[in-house]
Structure 1
Amino acid sequence: MPAMKLSHLPGIAGFILFVGVALFAPLLSPHAPDQVIGIAWDQPSMLAPLGTDNLGRDLLSRLIWGTRTSLSVTMVTALVAFIIGTTLGFIAGVMGGWLDQLISRVNDVVMAIPTLILALVVLATLPKSLGVIILVLGLLEATRILRVARALATDIAAMEFIDVARMRGERLGWILLREILPNALPILIAEFALRFVFILLFLSALSFLGLGIQPPTADWGGLARDNKDGILFGIWAALLPGAAIALLALCINTLADWLLGANTRAWGARAHD
């Protein structure tokens, strides 16, 4: 078990709490997420501890279900982005030559277009299903990961143990999985945490603009969009998903810092041995 500093405990406990809320949403939610239980933007009560939203639905229940939706979609999107970006980046960094140039130039062209504008254009023309949203966001975020993975693979591929593996006749897949990936993993862990937060913000922004997760499905961006007009009347319902995003970002950064330090110490000890 990696050593854990006292400063890591709140962030890790917070992350576990968010995951627990997402996993046990049906048990924790007092009401169904679409059930109307009162008037719009009603005050907190025993029936609705956080009050109601713009349609009279329980705000706490929608926030709980929104946690499950936002975290699950963000996690799947981050995994898709990392599988695509890391694979292409490693291949470009190890193989070099025309294949590296092709992958890098295509990646540069996509990155030259503002990500939000490109996502808005693409999603405006495609069905707004969860699969389409995950694929579009995953491909867009994979361009950032690709550059990091390529830089790591290029540096690692120049080391002697890679030449030894090639002389042994090891295949490309073996070199990528057994030599490149373990040595690049500490930085990729930190990059995964960073990309997770960016994807969460990106997804929430698209939902806020009406091109992300569609109603009546509850998610943090949609919750902010539905209740944004309440701010004019002193209703703070729209601020809850923003606070949740900020807290989750802090928790994930703390978790990544702990894992990065643990992995760095472990591989440092292995190299010393």
Structure 2
Amino acid sequence: MTAQAPDIRSVRARRSFLQNVKRTLASAPISAWFGMTVIVIYVIAAVFAPLIAPYGEAEVVGKAYQPSGPEFWLGTDQIGRDLFSRLIYGARNTVGIAFITTMLSFMIGGTLGVLTALKRGWLDQGISRIVDAFLAIPVLIFALMLLAVFGKSIWMLILILALLDSTRVFRLARATALNVVVMDYVEAAKLRGEGMGWIIFKEVLPNILPPMITEFGLRFCFVFLTISALSFLGVGIQPPTADWGSMVAESKTLITFPVRTFPYIPAPFYPAIAIALLTVAINFVVDWFLHKTSGLRDEL
């Protein structure tokens, strides 16, 4: 009986967790459901891009600017590549790179923010002043300069954007952690002789997780839009790799001279709509999550 007791408790805990998840999802507003549905569709497209896309990422399959039809659902681009296939591969490249960049920025900025809140002293002052200097420079301009100096590879793009964006994460992590480290339970953990790892992962991190998760969604949107802007300017993800920002840049002449193309090919609007839709969907989910974790009740 004693050997089976932990198993019974773990089963009950899992059931209770699943029930809480079901209740939470059932109470989600339509906007949150819309956002989650869009995010799931984008994730499926990114993961299974080679299976979903009818053609290759850089495969020339037709003439330039062919209209949409049974063969090419969204038409072709300026050199005859299938727009639908490149849009799907663009989800893998743009969203995947933005997610990796955001994760790396949170690992760097979140770790330094919590450590400086615990240590204080010269470490806090030194890192905070360096972060202040970086915050004074616009991210897009600084990224353009660094990419021009160090090259335009994907990994360099990820590293530069992660370092620049980690300054914003550092500020939030430090501010929220400062409110937690002065609590009695943290002081009690220190008096018990608990190590730094225990205090961070057992005492501080669980109590700053909701605002950090919310910030992750917002940071992802900013990084995602920054990557698209850099690709539009020609210094982000380089051709022939499919990217939504570069796809808009490649067909931007159709926005200026739409009357000269008949039938009209809305090629630049497909990636632009994909960018806007994902940004709106993430913000819907983030707003709902922030509302749930804040403890506020829905208005009657």
Tell me whether 1:3 sits opposite 2:24 in the alignment. Answer: yes
Q: SS state of the match for residue 3, structure 1?
A: helix
**Pick aligned residue for 1:242 from 254, 272, 275:** 272
Shift of 1:127: 2.4
Shift of 1:54: 1.1
Question: Take 1:76 and 1:237, find their aligned partners in 2: how far apart are those partners?
Answer: 28
Question: Take 1:68 and 1:179, find their aligned partners in 2: how far apart are those partners?
Answer: 36
Question: Take 2:98 and 2:250, find their aligned partners in 1: how far apart are those partners?
Answer: 20
2:80 is matched with 56
**Pick aligned residue for 2:285 from 255, 262, 270:** 255
1:43 is matched with 67
In structure 1, runs of 5+ residues without a counterpart are 266-273
Tell me whether 1:109 sits opposite 2:133 in the alignment. Answer: yes
| Structure 1 letter corresponding to 2:43 | V
**Pick aligned residue for 1:77 from 63, 85, 101:** 101
Question: Take 1:40 and 1:72, find their aligned partners in 2: how far apart are those partners?
Answer: 28
| Structure 2 letter corresponding to 1:120 | L
1:21 is matched with 45
Question: Take 1:232 and 1:47, find their aligned partners in 2: how far apart are those partners?
Answer: 27
2:254 is matched with 230
Q: SS state of the match for residue 183, structure 1?
A: helix
In structure 2, runs of 5+ residues without a counterpart are 1-20, 259-264, 296-300
1:179 is matched with 203
Question: Take 1:184 and 1:166, find their aligned partners in 2: how far apart are those partners?
Answer: 18
Query: Aligned-residue CA RMSD in angstroms?
Result: 1.4
Question: Take 1:227 and 1:33, find their aligned partners in 2: how far apart are those partners?
Answer: 17
Question: Take 2:254 and 2:291, find their aligned partners in 1: how far apart are those partners?
Answer: 43
| Structure 2 letter corresponding to 1:3 | T
Q: Is the 8 A contact 1:74 1:199 kept in 2?
A: yes
Shift of 1:233: 3.1
Q: SS state of the match for residue 182, structure 1?
A: helix
Which of the pair has more CA radius of gyration?
2
Q: Is the 8 A contact 1:41 1:52 kept in 2?
A: yes
TM-score after normalising by structure 1: 0.93
| Structure 2 letter corresponding to 1:256 | V
1:167 is matched with 191
**Pick aligned residue for 2:89 from 44, 53, 65:** 65
Q: Is the 8 A contact 1:85 1:149 kept in 2?
A: yes
Deviations 1:155-177 (A, max 9, x none): 11111111101101112222111
Question: Take 2:24 and 2:231, find their aligned partners in 1: how far apart are those partners?
Answer: 39
| Structure 1 letter corresponding to 2:231 | S
Question: Take 1:232 and 1:105, find their aligned partners in 2: how far apart are those partners?
Answer: 45
> Alignment length, in residue pairs?
265
| Structure 2 letter corresponding to 1:244 | A
Tell me whether 1:88 sits opposite 2:116 in the alignment. Answer: no
2:166 is matched with 142
Identity of aligned residues (%): 45
Between stretches 187-196 and 165-174, larger displacement belongs to 165-174
Shift of 1:261: 4.7
Deviations 1:91-121 (A, max 9, x none): 1111111111011000001111111111011
Question: Take 1:257 and 1:20, find their aligned partners in 2: how far apart are those partners?
Answer: 23
Shift of 1:259: 3.8
Q: Is the 8 A contact 1:41 1:230 kept in 2?
A: no
Shift of 1:232: 2.5
Deviations 1:33-77 (A, max 9, x none): 211122211111111111111111111110010011111101100
Question: Take 2:291 and 2:202, find their aligned partners in 1: how far apart are those partners?
Answer: 21
| Structure 1 letter corresponding to 2:114 | F
Q: SS state of the match for residue 76, structure 2?
A: coil
Shift of 1:263: 5.0
Question: Take 1:109 and 1:31, find their aligned partners in 2: how far apart are those partners?
Answer: 47
| Structure 2 letter corresponding to 1:253 | N
